[in-house]
Amino acid sequence: MAVPEVVSVVDDNICAAQTTQVISAMFLLQRCYSAGAGARLASLRRLQTTSIAYGSLVPFKLSDIGEGIAEVQVKEWHVKVGDRVNQFDNICEVQSDKAAVSITSRYDGVIKKLYYNVDDVAKVGQPLIDIELDEDLEGASTGDQDSQASEAPKTPAISSSTPTGASVQQNHTKKLATPAVRRIAMENKVNISHVTGSGKDGRVLKEDVMRFLGQITTAPSDTSYTPHAASTPSAKWQPSALKEDQIVPVRGYTRAMVKSMSEALKIPHFGYNDEINVDSLVILRNQLKHVGKERGVKMSYMPMFIKAASLALTKFPMLNASADEKFENIIYKASHNICIAMDTPGGLVVPNIKNCEQRSLWEIAEELNRLHEAGKRQQISRDDLIGGTFTLSNIGAIGGTYASPVIFPPQVAIGALGKIEKLPRFDRDGKVYPANLVKVSWAADHRVVDGATMARFSNLWKEYLENPMIMLSEMR
C-alpha cells in the first residue's frame, strides 16, 4: 500500500513548534505503512514457497466417487511411468462394487510413479500416481491439494458416467474413440480416421483397431439382446482344466452381488410360472426390422418384454415397489426403472433402464443395446446401477426354460425369461400346429405381494405379448 503524499502547507500563523510536530507525525505514519507492507511481502513470500510450481512432484489422490465407496479395484491403466498427460486425459479405469469409473487427470505433467498394479485395490484418499508438473499452478498450495481433489474442474471434462468413456468430439470429421483406443492406434501407427467403427454412432472400438491390423478376422459382434441367440455365449466360453488351486479375490460386480444376495435370503420368496405364445410378437418383430435399419437400432424381443412389463406395472403398482428399512411402509414407485440382469466378464450385473413408462420401444431398445455394450467392457456407470424398481432376467440368452429367480433387494418382484422355442400345440379346432413359446418364472416378496396379484399381473403381461396390438394401443 503506497504512503499518501503529504504536501506541507504551513500557514504563516502556525508556529515553528507546531510545524515540527506535524513533520514528526508524518515520519511516524510512513514507518507504520512501511512495516505493514513488509509484513505483507513476507507473507506473500511464504505463500510462494508452498505453491505448486514448475517441476513439482504432486501426488494425485483418488478422490471420493460417491455412494459411500471406500475402495476400488484398478482394472486398467491408460498411462505408464514416463508418459506425458494433459488435464482431463484418462488415467485409469477403476471398478467398485457398484460401477466402473474413469479417472481423469487434473494436471499437465509427466507420470513419475504408479502406486498400484492392475487388479490391486486402491483406497479413496490415497495417491494413485505421482505427476511432475509442466507449468505453474498459481495459488495451489500444497495444503490445498486434498480440497482440490474433490473439486470439479472448471473446464468441461469427460463425464465418468459416460458408458464407454468416449472422448468429446472436436469436429464433425473426427472419429469417436476412447483415449485408450487412440493410444493403441498410435502405438501401431494406425490413422484412426481410416478405421471403420462398429460402436454406437460409428465409435471406433479396440476390436476395430485390432481388426484393421489383421489380428482379428471376425466381423463386428452383434450387440442386440435376442433370446434366440442361446448358443452364441456358450460357444465363446471355453473351459480349461486347472493345473493347480487358484485363489480369486471377490471384487467388483461379484462383491456387490454377494451383498445383495445375502440380503435376498431374508426375503420370503414365492414363485409363479407360465407359458406365453409369442407367434404374434415374432410377426411384429419381423415387420419392424426395416424400420430398425433406418433408425440404426436392431429390435430384439427383450424391449417388447420390458415395455409389456411396464404397461402391466401401471395397473399393478404394488409390484413396482419397495419397503423401508423397518418394513413399516411400502413405497410404490412412480418411475418404472426396469433392471436387466446381465452376464458380463466381471460377473453378474443388474443395470436398469430409467422411466420405461415414458419410453417407446425404440428408446428402450437403444438403451438396452447401450447397457449391453457397456457391460461387455465392464464400464456400466453408477447411475445405470442405482434406482431400479423391477427386474427381468433373460436366462434364455444362454439356455433353459424355467428358473427360480432371486429377488434383487429392495425390490419386491423379479421375472426370468426362458429361451423361445418352437413346440407343438393345439389350436381351437384341436389341430396340432407349431407354436413359438417362451416360459416365464416369477418370484415375489410374499410380505408385499400375494399369489393372486402375481397371477393377475402375469396374465396381463401375457395378454400384451400374445396380442401386441393391445400393447401398442396403450402406449403413450
Which residue numbers are catalytic? 446, 450
Q: Report whether 350 contacts 339 (CB < 8 A).
A: yes
Distance of alpha carbon 25 from its chain centroid, rounded? 70
> CA separation (Å) from 235 to 206, 230, 231, 385?
22, 9, 6, 28
Q: Report whether 417 contacts 308 (CB < 8 A).
A: no
- Phi then psi for residue 67, to 5 deg, are 60, 25
- CA–CA gap between residue 416 and residue 234 (Å, rounded): 19
- CA–CA gap between residue 465 and residue 304 (Å, rounded): 8
CB-based contacts of 134: which residues, under 8 Å, 6+ apart?
Answer: 54, 84, 107, 108, 109, 110
DSSP secondary structure of 222-245: P----TT--HHHHHH------SS-
Closest residue by Cα to residue 172 from 130, 139, 202, 217: 202
> CA separation (Å) from 46 to 39, 42, 50, 142, 148?
11, 6, 7, 12, 20
User: What single-letter DSSP state applies at residue 319?
Assistant: G
- CA–CA gap between residue 406 and residue 416 (Å, rounded): 9
Instruction: Please report, as a single letter, which amino acid is at residue 229.
Output: A
Strand 109-114 to 84-85 pairing: antiparallel
Residue 423 host element (H or E) = strand 421-426
- Joined together, the cell numbers standing for residue 62 give 483418488
